[in-house]
Amino acid sequence: MTTVAWICGVMLAIAGLLTTVHVIRSRNLADRAIGIDMLVAIVLNGLAVGIAVTVDPLTAALVLIIGLLAFLGSVTIARYIEERGP
Amino acid sequence: MSTFVDVVAAALMLIGCSLALIAAVGMFRMPDTYSRIHVATKPATLAVVCTVGAAVLLVPGPAASTKLLLAVALQFWTAPVASHMLGRAAHASGQRPEEPWVLDELADAEAADTIAATDAADESAG
Amino acid sequence: MSRIVGILLMLAAWLALWGEISIVNVVTGIIVVALLSLLVRRTDRVYTIKPIGLIKLLAIFVWRLITSSAAVVLTVVAPTPERLRSGVVAIELSHRSPLVAAIVADAISLTPGTLTLDSRYPDEGDTPPTLFVHVLGLDDPEKIRDDVRYLEGLVLSAIVPNGHPVSEEVVS
C-alpha cells in the first residue's frame, strides 16, 4: 500500500504542477476558474490517498467540507464572470 | 498487500490518480476553453469518485465511510452543474469555439435576440 | 407520513455521521433534526417519482460518467482533427416542464463529449425550452438531437411533473 501511495502521490504532484502552470499561463478568467476547479479535485484526490495511507478517519470530514466549498466557489466565480466579463 | 480488499483499493487509487494526471495533461493539449472544460471536469470527477471509493474500502467504522460516501455523492451531483456554469460564463464573456468549428447556434440565437431587442426599442422610442 | 420518514432518515444520517449510537448522539440528533424541519419551508411537491425508472436513470448516469471519461482519455492521448472538432448545437425539447429540462441538461453534461451551455425558456409558457449544447467530436447534429430525445424519454419515465401532462409520443 505504501508503494502504491507513493506512485499516486507522484502522479498527483505532476498533475498539480501542470495545472498550476496552466492557471498562471492562461489569459482569461474562465480558463483560470477551470484550472482552480481542477486543482481542488487534485487536492481531494490527495486527501483520499492520505486516508488510505494513514487510515485516519478525521480526514474524511475534510474531504466532505472541501468538496462542498469547491462547488460553491466554482459557481460563484462563474456567476461573476457572467455579469462582469473576463 | 494481503487481502482482496487491499488489492481492489490499490487498483482503484491508481486508476483515479492516472485519470487526474490525464485530465491535467489534457488541459494543455486542448485548443480552446470549451474543450478544456470537457477535459478538466469529467475525468476529474471520476478520479475523485475512484480514489474516495478506495478510501471507503480501507477505512473502518461507519462514521468515516458515511462522510466519504456523502462526499462522493456530492461530487457526482455537483460536477455537471459547475461545468455547465463555467461553460455558460465563458460563452457570455465572449469565448467562441476555436477554428475549425462547425456551427455555433447559440451565438446566432443571441444575435437574433439582440436584433429583436433593438427593433423593439426602436419601435417603442420612434 | 413522508415527513416522519424524512425525520427518521435525517436522524439515521446524523447517527451514521457520528459513528456511534449513544444517548448524547440521539438527543442532539433529535434537537438538530427538529430545528431543521422547522427552518425548512414545506413546498408542494411538483412531481411524482416512479422508482424503477429512477433506478434505471441513475444507472445510466453512472455508466455515462464512466464512458465519458474514457472518451476524454482517448481524445487527450490521441487527438485527431475529427475528435477535436466542436460546435454548439441548438436542441428543442419536447416537454414544457423546466424540471425535466434541468435534469436532461444535467444528463447531457455527463454524456461523453457534450456539455450544456445555455437554455432559453420562452415566455408564453406553451412552447418547450431550447437547450444549447457544446459538442466535442461533432460529426452530425442530428445524432446529438436523437440522443437528447432518448435522454428526455428516460427522464420522463422516471419523473412525471404534475401540471404538465406527458404526451404519448414522448414516452414511447
Least CB-CB distance to B14: which of A4, A34, A75?
A: A4
Q: How many CA atoms lie within 13 A of C45 on its CB side?
A: 7
**Residue range B113-122: average pLDDT?**
67
Q: C171 pLDDT exceeds 90?
A: no
- What is the domain extent for residue B40? 4-100
Cα distances from A13 to residues A32, A62, A75, C3, C17, in angstroms, run 19, 19, 26, 47, 31
**Residue range C90-100: average pLDDT?**
80
The verdict on residue B113 lying in a domain is no
Q: C166 pLDDT exceeds 60?
A: no
The verdict on residue B115 lying in a domain is no
CB spacing of B17 vs A45 below 8 angstroms:
yes
Q: How confident is the model at residue B99 (pLDDT cuts 50, 70, 90)?
A: low
Residues in chain B within 8 Å Cβ distance of A75: 81-82, 85
Lowest mean pLDDT among B5-14, B91-100, C128-137: B91-100
CATH code (residue A16): 1.10.287
Q: How many CA atoms lie within 13 A of C111 on its CB side?
A: 21
Point out which residues pair with B47 in neighbouring strands. Answer: none
CB spacing of C65 vs B42 below 8 angstroms:
yes
- pLDDT (tens digit, 9 = 90+) per residue, A16-54? 999 999 999 888 888 898 999 999 999 999 999 988 888
pLDDT of residue A13: 94
Give the sheet arrangement for strand C130-136, strand by strand: B101-104, C86-92, C130-136, C114-120
Nearest CA in chain A to B52: A48
- pLDDT (tens digit, 9 = 90+) per residue, C79-93? 777 777 777 778 888
How many domains, in total, are found in chain B?
Answer: 1
- What is the domain extent for residue A44? 2-84
The verdict on residue B106 lying in a domain is no
Per DSSP, the three-state class of A28 is coil
Interface test with A, best of B3, B39, B51 (most A CBs within 10 A): B51
How many domains, in total, are found in chain A?
Answer: 1
Are C107 and C151 contacting, i.e. CB atoms less than 8 angstroms apart?
Answer: yes
Least CB-CB distance to A67: which of B25, B71, B90?
A: B71
With cell 502521490, the residue in question is: A9
Q: What is the mean pLDDT of chain C?
A: 79
| CA–CA dist A42, A78 (Å, integer) | 20
Sequence-separated (6 or more) residues with CB below 8 Å from residue C3: C37
Q: Looking at CA atoms only, how far is residue B82 from chain A in angstroms?
A: 6
| CA–CA dist C99, A70 (Å, integer) | 25
With cell 427593433, the residue in question is: B119
Which amino acid does the sequence have at C106? D
- pLDDT (tens digit, 9 = 90+) per residue, B51-95? 999 888 888 777 888 888 888 888 888 888 999 998 888 888 777
**Residue range A43-69: average pLDDT?**
86
Q: Based on the number of CB atoms within 10 Å of its own CB, is B60 exposed (0-12), middle (13-18) or buried (19 or more)?
A: exposed
Q: How confident is the model at residue A4 (pLDDT cuts 50, 70, 90)?
A: confident
The verdict on residue B32 lying in a domain is yes
Are C112 and C71 contacting, i.e. CB atoms less than 8 angstroms apart?
Answer: yes
Residues in chain B within 8 Å Cβ distance of A61: 67
Mapping DSSP onto H, E and C, the string for chain B reads CCCHHHHHHHHHHHHHHHHHHHHHHHHHHCCCHHHHHHHHHHHHHHHHHHHHHHHHHHCCCHHHHHHHHHHHHHHHHHHHHHHHHHHHHHHHCCCCCCCCEEEEHHHHHHHHHHHHHHHHHHHHHC
| Dihedral sign (CA C13, C16, C18, C22) | positive
**Residue range C25-41: average pLDDT?**
84
**Residue range C151-166: average pLDDT?**
75
The verdict on residue B125 lying in a domain is no
Nearest CA in chain B to A72: B82
With cell 492516472, the residue in question is: B18
Q: A11 pLDDT exceeds 90?
A: yes
Q: Based on the number of CB atoms within 10 Å of its own CB, is A82 exposed (0-12), middle (13-18) or buried (19 or more)?
A: middle
pLDDT of residue C46: 67
The verdict on residue B109 lying in a domain is no
ipTM (interface pTM): 0.87
Mapping DSSP onto H, E and C, the string for chain C reads CHHHHHHHHHHHHHHHHHCCCCHHHHHHHHHHHHHHHHHCCCCCCCEEECHHHHHHHHHHHHHHHHHHHHHHHHHHHCCCHHHHCEEEEEEECCCCCHHHHHHHHHHHHHCCCEEEEEEECCCCCCCCCEEEEEEECCCCHHHHHHHHHHHHHHHHHHEEECCCCCCHHHHC
Are B35 and C72 contacting, i.e. CB atoms less than 8 angstroms apart?
Answer: no
